[in-house]
Structure 1
Amino acid sequence: MTDIATRLLGRIGRGYRVVGPFSLVLVALVLAAIFAPWLAPNDPNSQNLLGRLKPPGTEARGILYLLGSDELGRDLLSRIIYGARVSLSVALLSVVLSGVVGTTLGMAAGYLRGWTEAVIMRLADIFLSIPAILLAIITVAVLGPGFVNVILVLALTRWPRYARVAYGQTLSVANMPYVRLARAMGASWPRVLLRHILPNIIAAMAVIATLEFGLMVLFEAGLSFLGLGVQPPTPSWGATLSVGRNYVTSAWWIATFPGICLFLLVLSVNLIGDRLSEYLNPKSR
Structure 2
Amino acid sequence: MRFVEFGHDGGQWQGPGQGRDYLVRAFAVQHTTPIALGYAITDQSATTLGYTGDTVYCPAVEDLAAISAVVVLDTSFHASRAGHMGLDDVEALAGRWPDRTFIPTHLGDDVTGSDQPNIVFPSDEQTFTLNTLDGYVTGPNDSRENPFGDGAGMLHKWMSAQATDEDRAILERVIDDWGAVVMGRKSFEKNEGEGGWGEGGPVGDVPCFVVTHHKPTRSYPPVFTFVTDGVASAIEQARKAAGDKVVGLHGATVMQQALPLGLVDEIRVHVVSVLVGGGTPLFGTLDSSVTLERTQVMATPAATHLTYRVVR
Identify which of structures 1 and 2 has the higher relative contact order when contacts are C-alpha pairs closer than 8 Å and 6+ apart: 1
Instruction: Give yes or no for TM over 0.5.
Output: no
Name whichever structure is richer in strand by fraction.
2
Name whichever structure is richer in helix by fraction.
1
